[in-house]
Amino acid sequence: MNKAITINPATEEEVASYTRISSKEAKEKVANANKAYKSWKKTSFEERSKLMNKLATIFEENKEAYAQLATQEMGKIIEQSRSEIEKCAKICKYYADNIQELLADEVIITEAKKSYVTFQPLGVTLAVMPWNFPFYQVIRFAAPAVMTGNTGVLKHASNVQGCAFALEDAFTKAGFPEGVFTNLNVASDEIKAIIEDKNIIAVTLTGSEPAGRSVAKIAGENLKKTVLELGGSDAYIILEDADLEKATDLSTYGRMQNNGQTCIAAKRFIVLEEIYDDFLKLFTQKMKDAKMGVPTDEDVYYGPMARVDLRDELHEQVEKTVKEGGKLVLGGEIPKRKGAYYPATIIADLKPGMTGFDEELFGPVASVIKAKDENEAIELANNSSFGLGSGVFTKNIKRGEKVALQLEAGNSFVNKLVVSDPRMPFGGIKNSGYGRELSTYGIREFVNTKSIWIH
């Protein structure tokens, strides 16, 4: 197919189509990005910061238009789309204001007259990005990459090409030179050739585990550095001393945010047996009360999933889990209405080996698991091929920290849902990927960490 087609998931109607560029055009754009890099890397931090702050202003001034576009293309509720655009502005400002500190030379005391480590840009980075946060996921890569002096090319998901072109246009309006940030509207089968292009120095991907494996294999064969942020099946442990009102409020929001389509969403709820029934009753009521509806309506809690085929795949996972012995407590039926809607769903009494325990459920479905004590809860949480986010709810902060330190994940939060923050590193372990984004750790993934020795 030579077009990327956008289908509004709330109506199943086609809203736009975008003609894909040819392989030759893609190669030319990558070459142009490399040409831009050769001059961009010579610019000062001050000059880059000025443009990045201008980009932040563009996000702020166009927040409503960008938010409406994201909601139309992938179905998140409008309030959360607005929040996503606000977060884009904040991350641009963060890197604009902190780049000199983040990439400051590190003096190393040796027998040399002078020795230090400096951090220099490398070249063109390819980003393969998903649809679930169509603006923020891209800015999370692009803002630090561009501020280091690298240039970036984007292969975005086909169903959010409107957002992809809007991002490219925003960089242009901010005054960034041509080629510093480029959208490549190509099909997925073109990714291999792009990675193999001599002008690409590294690849960052946020997406599914299969996509990550495929990109890592191609990049590895071509000795290209990669950072992968893949799926997750985040476990949240609810200890017997937890504030159940707060825990169920956060659990409901954590499972339903972005219509349940978030890598770091709370997905598996591991509850100690003393409070299991009370938690499940309260959680069920709050999930039931969550209003499903048209995502542009201001009063809805969640909208449709991004695509009908994704909704249908999720439903198959739910049905399979129930056949395996899971107890369907709420939802689990495809609504009789247009759109990729799926109701808030809870499957309880899950055990290892069941689909809802072992696999990522990327939609508004919660898996509830009973544990006899704290040790078993930790064991169940770690019994996963994923390791992106995790959390624990307890009134005892020291106990919560002790549990968090034992959870096998790149992020472990106590009494709060996992979020990404530019001041903290973000990423996963196991099949959730490797490498880090954000903070000092993330910005140094795609630089030349260079030793300077003066005798």
Domain ranges of the chain: 3-230+432-454, 234-414
Per-residue model confidence as pLDDT tens for the chain (455 residues): 589 999 999 999 999 999 999 999 999 999 999 999 999 999 999 999 999 999 999 999 999 999 999 999 999 999 999 999 999 999 999 999 999 999 999 999 999 999 999 999 999 999 999 999 999 999 999 999 999 999 999 999 999 999 999 999 999 999 999 999 999 999 999 999 999 999 999 999 999 999 999 999 999 999 999 999 999 999 999 999 999 999 999 999 999 999 999 999 999 999 999 999 999 999 999 999 999 999 999 999 999 999 999 999 999 999 999 999 999 999 999 999 999 999 999 999 999 999 999 999 999 999 999 999 999 999 999 999 999 999 999 999 999 999 999 999 999 999 999 999 999 999 999 999 999 999 999 999 999 999 999 99
Angle between helix 78-102 and helix 63-74 axes, rounded to 10 deg: 120
- Dump the DSSP string for 47-68: HHHHHHHHHHHHHHHTHHHHHH
Contacts of 170 (CB under 8 A, 6+ apart): 55, 58, 59, 62
Q: Give dist(CA 132, CA 109) in Å, integer.
A: 46
pLDDT at 360: 97
Q: Which two tokens stand for residue 362?
A: 């990327």
Q: Which two tokens stand for residue 158?
A: 């086909």
Single-letter amino acid, residue 110: T
pLDDT at 50: 98
How many of the other CB atoms lie within 10 Å of CB of 98? 17
Q: Give dist(CA 152, CA 125) in Å, integer.
A: 5
Q: Residue 225, class by beta-carbon neighbours within 10 Å (0-12 exposed, 13-18 middle, 19+ buried)? A: middle
Hey, what CATH topology would domain 3-230+432-454 get? Aldehyde Dehydrogenase; Chain A, domain 1 (3.40.605)
CB of 266 within 8 A of CB of 365?
A: no
CB of 356 within 8 A of CB of 313?
A: no
Q: What is the dihedral of CA 329, 331, 334, 340, to 10 degrees?
A: -130
Angle, alpha carbons 341-207-329 (nearest 5°): 40
Q: In b/e form, how buried is each residue of 33-64, taking b as 16+ CB within 10 angstroms?
A: bbbbbeebeeeebeebbebbbbbbebbeebbe
CB of 271 within 8 A of CB of 238?
A: yes
CB of 314 within 8 A of CB of 342?
A: yes
Bridge partners (DSSP) of residue 234 are 266
According to DSSP, the β-strands at 433-434 and 225-229 are antiparallel
Closest CA to 147 of 449, 434, 442, 452: 442
Backbone phi and psi for residue 328, each to the nearest 5 degrees, phi listed first: -75, 110
Q: Which two tokens stand for residue 200?
A: 């690409």
Q: What is the dihedral of CA 130, 314, 16, 161, to 10 degrees?
A: 0
pLDDT at 1: 58
Q: Give dist(CA 215, CA 140) in Å, integer.
A: 19
Hey, what CATH topology would domain 234-414 get? Aldehyde Dehydrogenase; Chain A, domain 2 (3.40.309)
Catalytic residue positions? Answer: 229, 263
Q: Give dist(CA 25, CA 303) in Å, integer.
A: 37
3-state secondary structure 221-289: HCCCEEEEECCCCEEEEECCCCCHHHHHHHHHHHHHHHHHCCCCCEEEEEEECCCHHHHHHHHHHHHHH
SS3 of 11, please?
A: coil
Backbone phi and psi for residue 241, each to the nearest 5 degrees, phi listed first: -100, 15
Q: Give dist(CA 144, CA 179) in Å, integer.
A: 16
SS3 of 384, please?
A: coil
SS3 of 80, please?
A: helix
Q: How far apart are the first and last CA of the chain?
A: 60
Q: Do domains 3-230+432-454 and 234-414 have the same CATH topology?
A: no
In 38-135, the DSSP E strands lie at 106-107, 114-121, 124-128
